[in-house]
Chains A and B, each alone.
Chain A
Amino acid sequence: MTDGVTTKRYREALNDALREEMLRDETVMLMGEDIGVFNGAFKVTNGLLKEFGEKRVRDTPISENTIVGMGVGAAMTGLRPVVELMTINFSLLAMDQIVNHAAAIHYMFGGQVKVPLVVRMPQGAGHQLGPTHSHSWEALYLHAPGLLVATPSTAADAKGLLKSAIRDDNPVIFIEHEYLYGQRGEVPDDPEFTVDFGHAAIRREGTDVTIVGISRMAITAERAAETLSTEHDISAEVIDPRTLRPLDLDTILDSVRKTNRCIIVEEGWPHGGVGANLAALIQEQAFDWLDAPIGRVTGADVPMPYSKPLEQAAFPHEPQVVEAVRHLF
């Protein structure tokens, strides 16, 4: 046991998690496009091919549905595969294996077989990648029972949640964020450090409004809370659920019962989004505590455009969160 911390980038924290779990359990193996020789499109798997060799770190052809499906099969028969998809947009090609297979198998075969698979991939807009490369899909995976969904927003959570994901016996959709890869944060040195699924983090305590931020939007929400405090005298409590399934609804409800107002911030689309779902859950269970309608700040309801000013207008930034909160008072 060590109780020190080291400042690391989010991508390094993920790399540590992969390395540590591979050292701990030799059934953990990696598959993905350009994760080996190229060291990963976002360098998350940097150095792992060199360290663990081609048996455990496998470059694959561009065949998303099949590499995820092979992950499912290998997970059913004794391995703990971690499949990297270059970005979450390409996971749509693997939707069949993820939803019809990975998510359903334990249930439809009466609990006889487990699928301890992790599919990890980044999402997010802001790099001008246009309508095929910029979307946020946590709501899609949240929709499917049988999947666990993690959306880490800090380096420590990235590491702790990934380690938990690899050790879990369920298929886990592990959603990283392109913007966050280069961000630094303090990560515990203890190799046994993990973050449990189903435990929200209260990033900032407050009394006037609850802001729930998903994935990168947890960071945006924190910044907005700072501005609300210094410029508008509003005390915001910021909650990062960290995992959407399981969801730590109690922490969110406790907060809403205290602040009586709630805004949910996400990068994905509004229709059928995480916020739409959360708003329903909150009003079902804390209606009497609400002093204002639950607000949402979401990505614009459009395919993500390439052009910079349009793109910037199409996903949430701090001023929109501040504006939405002020609107509640």
Chain B
Amino acid sequence: MADQAQPRPLPDPVTSREWLQTMMLIRRFEERAGEMYAKAKVGGFLHLAIGEEAAIVGCARALRDDDYLISTYRSHGHALVRGSNPDAVMAELFGREGGLCRGRGGSMHMFDLANRFMGGYGIVGGNLPIAAGFGLASDYLGTDDATLCTFGDGAINQGTFGETMNLAALWKLPVVFLVTNNQFGMGTALERHSANTDLQERGQSFGVPGMRCDGMDVVDTYEVCREALETARTERQPVLVEAITYRFRGHSMADPEEYRTKDQVEEWRKRDPIITFAERLREADIIGEGDAEQMDADAVKVVDDAVAFADASPFPALESLYDDIYVLGDQLKGWYSVDERGAGVQKGEDIGA
């Protein structure tokens, strides 16, 4: 982690502006998603990553296009940063056919193969072994691809964490594990769920060295993740990175937040990753008078369009309920699924011999 007094140098102006723009897009997208939830356009659980934008953009920008990014149920931002169409992300939240996953997965289960965003997963700790599996395939197939796996501080206590660290180290897999330490697993504060709160240290005994970055600083997150990815890719050495951050909103939309004080939230809000980065860019003359406002207006426009698209996209047809349970092929010409309510042809019986 860089010294607070000595921030890391900014990247070139074009890159700097793109990072700011993307963080703004994620922020505006999340805010609007919350509003759409309040209007019942979005159902289920909605976990917003407001406050965590630097951790998201910093790590993702350290990836190559062919690298894999895998995340949790708090993953709208990860999809967006990887290049998923905001229209399709919003339509997924709306449960529409035009959604990233045709409305099947919803907020917690985003996925965009084309952009190598390998998914959001609803089971805490479930994505860690899968990430190591991506690393295994990259290694096996001899590609140069690396994987970056994000998960929360709460997830570090799942058995999958230790098991995955060990195997990733043992088999020398090109994976960076990024624990997004936002200080809470739901309503349980870090020091109430972990005996050792130095999370970046938690991989060491398994052979996974740790690094830490300031998850409120997009540049620091980028630099640390870049270095970690380099190590993973070239030395075949998995690395655990801890990003120190904070979620400004509740765990999900239904969270009375009785487990933390307003003062604590306000304290962290002073380090808002977007405001502080915009400030730096202004000081460095990378953005001028009115630029940030314009970028923000652009982000709002993208989100407006996404909502309009999502609203216009149809709900999936009821006949499509049984689509995609299996990959249909030679072994699946026969009956495979029970539709108790349909007297007609069963799914699987209707495809040609």
Contacts and interface: CB of A to CB of B under 8 A. Distances in A.
A329 B269 CA distance: 66
B123 interface: yes
A302 B258 contact: no
A314 B125 CA distance: 27
Interface of A is mostly: loop
B154 A61 contact: yes
Interface size class of B (residues with CB under 8 A): 35 or more
Contacts of B78: none
Given A130-B109, A132-B121, A306 B104 contact: yes
A278 to B, nearest CB: 15
Contact of B123 (A41, A132, A307, A320): A132
A33 B188 contact: yes
Interface in A17-64: 33-34, 37-39, 41, 59-64
Contact of A314 (B186, B192, B321): B321
Given A37-B187, A61-B157, A305-B104, A310 B316 contact: yes
Contacts of B259: 37-38
Contacts of B125: 62, 93
B186 A306 contact: no
A301 to B, nearest CB: 4
A132 B185 contact: no
A271 B338 contact: yes
Given A37-B258, A65-B159, A133-B122, A306 B193 contact: no
Contacts of A104: none
Interface of B is mostly: loop
Contact of B315 (A38, A64, A296, A309): A309
A308 B45 contact: no
A155 to B, nearest CB: 22
Interface string B112-129: 000000000111111000
Contacts of B233: none
B321 A59 contact: no
A268 to B, nearest CB: 12
B276 interface: no
A66 to B, nearest CB: 7
Contact of A66 (B99, B123, B159, B337): B159
Contacts of A129: 44-45, 106, 108, 122
Given A61-B154, A309-B315, A130 B106 contact: yes
B15 interface: no
Contact of B193 (A41, A61, A127): A61
B204 interface: no
Nearest to A89: B123
A63 B338 contact: no
Given A62-B185, A320-B341, A132 B122 contact: yes
A65 B192 CA distance: 19
B158 A62 contact: yes
A165 B151 CA distance: 36
Contacts of A300: 321-322, 339-341
B157 A133 contact: no
Interface residues of A, number: 43
Given A62-B157, A314-B321, A38 B106 contact: no
Nearest to B95: A307
B325 interface: yes
Contacts of A310: 95, 103-104, 315-316, 318, 320-321
A128 interface: yes
B96 interface: yes
A130 B104 contact: yes
A297 interface: yes
Find the residue from B96, B155, B192 having the highest chain A CB count within 10 A.
Answer: B192
B143 interface: no
Nearest to B103: A307
A61 B103 contact: no
Interface string A297-329: 110111101111110011000001001000000
B194 interface: yes
A127 B44 contact: yes
A168 B136 CA distance: 47
B133 interface: no
